[in-house]
Chains A and B, each alone.
Chain A
Amino acid sequence: LAKTTQPISMDSYEGQEVNITCSHNNIATNDYITWYQQFPSQGPRFIIQGYKTKVTNEVASLFIPADRKSSTLSLPRVSLSDTAVYYCLVGPSGNTGKLIFGQGTTLQVKP
């Protein structure tokens, strides 16, 4: 499975848009990019998945350039409750097990 690299931490303020970038230089042709969110003392929760270009749901947007060697998770107008660790994972679609988690990005949203 392709390795991912993310910033260890990010700070933001309420109401701002937050963009978290993930590098995955060795992504395979059949790999998808998936993001999970984890609050302290809870299991991770699926946020979004994409293969190329842009994907948007009610929570976030995922931007993937043509070379797919990186991706950006965009959280619009964050609130204090968005403070969490965000993980970028790369792997085949439908792989809902044996997930390899990288270090993740700790997002701290300040008032």
Chain B
Amino acid sequence: GAVVSQHPSRVICKSGTSVKIECRSLDFQATTMFWYRQFPKQSLMLMATSNEGSKATYEQGVEKDKFLINHASLTLSTLTVTSAHPEDSSFYICSAGRSVGDTEAFFGQGTRLTVV
């Protein structure tokens, strides 16, 4: 089946620094990828839609200048958390659909970000 891979799986950073998370579609091309955030004991919340070759679309309440998204190729989207603070500590998950009309979304394994 289709595979979406995230890297790193976990990262610890100091407050005020930036962290980049990569999301790759390993065996298919994805013109669109999606980024979610999940706090402990809570559900996934959609943050933004990553569009290959164009600007990302952010959900209401998500700061685009804080969560920078780049989708430079058909198999890679990156999420950079800028000037991270402890409240940004969360589980970040990306997803992609394999093809138009496909019934299932494929999710990465997630990235656990801890800001200290």
Contact = CB atoms under 8 A, between A and B. Distances in A.
B104 A46 contact: yes
Contacts of B108: 43
Given A87-B43, A99-B46, A101-B44, A94 B91 contact: no
Choose among A43, A49, A103 the residue with the greatest number of B CB atoms under 10 Å from its CB.
Answer: A43
A34 B43 contact: no
B96 interface: yes
Interface in B40-71: 43-46, 49
A42 interface: yes
Contacts of A46: 103-106
Contacts, number: 69
B25 to A, nearest CB: 12
A51 B106 CA distance: 20
A77 B91 CA distance: 31
Interface of chain B, main secondary structure: strand
Choose among B44, B97, B102 the residue with the greatest number of A CB atoms under 10 Å from its CB.
Answer: B44
A110 interface: no
Nearest to B42: A103
Interface residues of B, number: 30
Interface of chain A, main secondary structure: loop
Given A98-B34, A104-B43, A41 B91 contact: yes
B102 A96 contact: yes
A-B pairs, top 10 by smallest CB distance, nearest first, are A96-B97, A43-B107, A46-B104, A96-B105, A94-B101, A101-B44, A101-B43, A43-B93, A97-B34, A49-B103
Interface of A: 32, 34, 41-46, 49, 87, 93-94, 96-104
28 contacts: A34-B103, A41-B112, A42-B109, A42-B110, A43-B93, A43-B94, A43-B95, A43-B108, A44-B93, A46-B105, A49-B103, A93-B101, A93-B103, A94-B97, A96-B95, A96-B96, A96-B98, A96-B102, A96-B103, A96-B105, A96-B106, A97-B34, A97-B49, A97-B95, A99-B46, A101-B44, A101-B45, A104-B43
Interface of B: 4, 6, 32-34, 36, 43-46, 49, 91, 93-98, 100-110, 112
